Amino acid sequence: MKKQNLVVVGGGSTYTLGMVMSLIEEKENFPLKSITFYDTNAERQEKIAKATEVILKEKYPELESFNYTTNRKKAFSDVDFAFVQIRTGGLQMREKDEQIPLRHGAVGQETCGPGGMAYGLRSIKDMIEVVNDVREYAPDAWILNYTNPAAIVAEALRREFPKDDKILNICDMPAAIMVSYAKILGKEIWDLVPEYFGLNHFGWFTDIYDKEGNKLTDDIKNAIKDNGFLPEDSEIINDPSWIKTFKQVETMLNDFPDYLPNTYLQYYLYPSQMVEKEDVENTRARQVINGREKRVHDQCETLIRDNSTEHADLEVDIHGCYMIRVAASLAYNNGDTFIVIVENNGIISNLQDDAMVEVPASLTARGPKPFAVGSIPTFQKGLIEGQLAFEKLVVDAWYEKDYNKLLQALTLNRTVVDAPRARAILDDLIKENKEFWPELAKK
Ligand code: G6P
Ligand code: MN
């Protein structure tokens, strides 16, 4: 097996240590020659990188090199894979994305509704730059992007790089949900074969099979109806916010029993409830700053101080393992099935071709080969088309610097609906995003 050179773009992320642990766990499936971290924030990255050095020395002695840098040429030259996880504006801007809509009585969420729009308009420019720079120094590298909001980012990359067939956008949420299905069934996630359709953070599992072809969907649905639903992946299993989110799946399934929903549908189907349970002074960003970020930085300090992993409580998570197995399937032509984001082109037969849809695909060295979904029912189609129009309008607005299209986008979004409310939220978001958004013109 050829050993791979990997760059992690956004090396300073709070997810990086989990990724490193996952790279170690998966080293036989995806053997590495080198790992490089790249970040624009040298200080934030250095802490994670110094801790990573300690981990790798103990657990990956066969790795030939580990480097971290803020220099793109050094970072991207000759890599085989770029894992891209950037967050323009950081968790500070995530907090604003969540608080501003909430102050107007609308859902305040990282990737859904106005927050997702704001984050999308920040991410597009940096993502385009990252892809251009990777291409300059590593024309053949696979770019696995899980930068959020993945739906909007994927649509922007589709438009900007129409001929580049080595960019793949992915999200770990379907996998994190499947970890819980696996637990219910007493199986491993890798034993399950999903049938799924939708947009990113906006989809449904239509069926779950095992590798022998047995349909397990009803076992899962019945278990959820009888016993509820909980997160099982190590990263989120004890997190009160994720526990609440997974519990909502039971409600969604009772109201709409046809398919198993992605957890993110809660924001679109129960917006009022989602607003009611929020505390504007302690939204998810604040919880992550005081929770995951603090925990990861404490782990780094322990690792660096001890120069050993002995006292650091490190865990492998599905987020990392999923991305790595995706990469392995592309690198070694495994043809394994993963849920990924690709251009529709008839996969969902009654949806426009140029939608970026989230569906299962066999991943080969020639890229994703998605499976046909066929025609989807009216309820899901209606929801998807509204959301898709929102996503397209946001990307249009970024290219055209068009205020009115953003007003249309927010008015269309199920988490906002009212035009005056859309305008009020939009005007507040503009004030806070001056540094990041294009300057918008009004008609
Ligand atoms: C899931 C989603 C990601 C999202 C993350 C947020 O993993 O798929 O797109 O960024 O959740 O989690 P957090 O714990 O930061 O709220
Ligand atoms: Mn996601």
pLDDT digits (tens, 9 = 90+) for 68-114: 999 999 999 999 999 999 999 999 999 999 999 999 999 999 999 99
pLDDT tens digits along 273-295: 999 999 999 999 999 999 999 99
pLDDT tens digits along 154-171: 999 999 999 999 999 999
What's the pLDDT at 295? 96
Of 376, 332, 335, the C-alpha closest to 358 is 376
- Ligand 1 atom closest to 14 (CA): 15
The domain made up of 4-169+288-316 has a fold known as Rossmann fold (3.40.50)
Stretch 235-260: mean pLDDT: 97
What's the pLDDT at 288? 98
CA of 170 to the centre of ligand 2 (A): 7
What's the pLDDT at 169? 98
Cα–Cα distance, 201 to 283 (Å, whole number): 19
Q: 288 CB less than 6 Å from ligand 1? A: yes
Can you give the length of the chain in residues?
443
Cα–Cα distance, 330 to 170 (Å, whole number): 13
Q: Give burial (CB, 10 Å; 0-12/13-18/19+) of 318.
A: buried
Percent of the chain with pLDDT over 90: 100
pLDDT tens digits along 182-238: 999 999 999 999 999 999 999 999 999 999 999 999 999 999 999 999 999 999 999
319 is in an annotated binding site: no
pLDDT tens digits along 399-425: 999 999 999 999 999 999 999 999 999
Catalytic residues: 172, 264
pLDDT tens digits along 350-377: 999 999 999 999 999 999 999 999 999 9
The per-residue b/e assignment along 54-67, b for 16 or more CB within 10 angstroms, e otherwise, is bbbeebbeebeebe
What's the pLDDT at 89? 98
- The DSSP 8-state label assigned to residue 31 in this structure reads -
CA of 313 to the centre of ligand 1 (A): 21
ipTM strictly over 0.95? Answer: yes
pLDDT tens digits along 37-74: 999 999 999 999 999 999 999 999 999 999 999 999 99
Domain ranges of the chain: 4-169+288-316, 384-432
What's the pLDDT at 267? 98
What's the pLDDT at 32? 98
Cα–Cα distance, 186 to 209 (Å, whole number): 14
What's the pLDDT at 435? 97
Report the predicted TM-score, pTM, of the whole model to 2 decimal places: 0.98
